[in-house]
Amino acid sequence: MRPGQPITVTCTDLDDEGAGVGESAGHAVHVAGALPGERVTAAVEHVSRRSPVAWARLAHVEAPSPARRPAACRAFGACGGCVLQELDYPAQLDWKRARVARAIAAQPVLRGLGVGVCVASPRPLGYRNKSKLVAARASGRFVLGAFAPRSHDVVDLAGCRIAEPPLDDVAEALRAILDDAGVRPYDERTLTGDLRHVILRVNADGQVLAALVVARPLADGPALAARLRAARPEVIGVVEHVNQTRGNAIFAEGGSAERVLSGAGELVDRVDVDGRRVRLPLSASAFFQANRDVAGLAYAAIARALAVRPGERVADAYSGVGGIALALAPGAGEVVGIESHAAATARATTAAARNGAANARFVTADAAAGLAALDRADVVVLNPPRKGCDAAVLAEVARLAPRAVAYLSCDPDTLARDLAALAARGYRTRAVTPFDMLPHTPHVEALAILERAPAHTA
């Protein structure tokens, strides 16, 4: 097999990036855009030198899958963001459940552990509450878009169907204002221009916070912000964030000069947890689940499974702005949130006061260090980044010996690895439930509930 060679492949599955996978000439071939059950023709683009694996570009679908559907976004395929849009939504949920099940089955100690049905997003489209847009000129036109896969070519995202209304309309209004004002998009090759990114965040009430990420402050920033708020009244605030670094990070690491150009500098969103509203103050850069509906379903599942009792202490590691901690606070004696980012800890503390959770406190610390500072925890919540928990974190969980652990993961493989490590420390996984936080993408969240095995019960 060689690059440029035409091949025919029958796809049997999707890989973790959402590309179809089949076999040809003894090679496992990955074809982006192909779906399971389809026979496709493709052109080989790359062949691994170390293993019989190849990647190919889809040319034609000869035998389409019954689950194939028209893509909702006109930028589908070019932007690379929602690669499963052409797969029927129920089929997406089945595949995501199977992906979690495969990761679990790969750990011998977990074999036989069942994985529940993937919880669907109430809104498969229009669910994403935050848009991260790159400023650029494409074909001579000022655009707000996204980098195309494996390149820094910018694809116009006007008309995005994944963004929650009214983010796309606000983006178009802002684009026109910036273009009319002659604002220059930043060019990372020549280090010229001013505007790097636009971040738009919408809350459950339809209010929008806009952030202009710039290489240097805009002289007419306040006037531009005022024009946007006049054109789109749902925009309650516009902030400017200066990022002078040369890397790919949207926001400058370690903080940056940030100013409010007009209106509010943050907005308050809410998560509905079994009929109770948890209110969270958010800046443009704060991490919060992109799908608040599914976040609420996951938080409610955690609360029901843990059934925290009066007088118990909850330790919430990787607590972020405090969503899960505050969802558990009403039934607990005390909730301790542990988060390494000081800004998130500060907002979580504000959120505790806003929600009347006098029994919740938040500390700025590495997860392992924060857990090590506790003398006891009856229940532990883990919600780590994609890399999962460090061994030191799992060791501290075992030392605290909570009666139950809830582990919300954004990566099935690291979840399975950590569940196996906890099994060796006396914790039995009772249930694993996937949640479709990001429909039309390969991403899947999974919630595992663990309990201390009887032999390890104090």
Secondary structure (H, E, C), 60-121: EEEECCCCECCCCCCCCCCCCCCCCCCECHHHHHHHHHHHHHHHHHCCHHHCCCCCCCCECC
CB atoms within 10 A of CB 86: 21
The answer to whether 194 and 183 are in contact (CB under 8 A) is yes
The answer to whether 116 and 433 are in contact (CB under 8 A) is yes
Q: CA 408, 412, 414, 418: dihedral to nearest 10 degrees?
A: 60
DSSP symbols for 394-457: HHHHHHH--SEEEEEES-HHHHHHHHHHHHTTTEEEEEEEEE-SSTTSS--EEEEEEEE-GGG-
How far is 24 from 125, CA to CA, in rounded Å?
35
Q: 53 pairs with which residues across the strands?
A: 28
Backbone angles phi and psi of 211, in degrees to 5 = -130, 130
Element (H, E) at 197: strand 195-202
Q: Is 426 exposed, middle or buried (0-12, 13-18, 19+ CB in 10 A)?
A: middle
The answer to whether 426 and 398 are in contact (CB under 8 A) is yes
Three-class SS state of 209: strand
The answer to whether 335 and 406 are in contact (CB under 8 A) is no
The answer to whether 74 and 22 are in contact (CB under 8 A) is no
Cα-trace Rg, the chain: 23
Q: Is 343 exposed, middle or buried (0-12, 13-18, 19+ CB in 10 A)?
A: middle
Element (H, E) at 29: strand 27-32
Backbone angles phi and psi of 401, in degrees to 5 = 50, 50
How far is 324 from 322, CA to CA, in rounded Å?
6
Token duo for residue 303: 């609360």
Catalytic residue ranges: 410
How far is 27 from 49, CA to CA, in rounded Å?
12
Distances (CA, A) of 157 to 142, 222, 239, 339: 12, 25, 22, 33
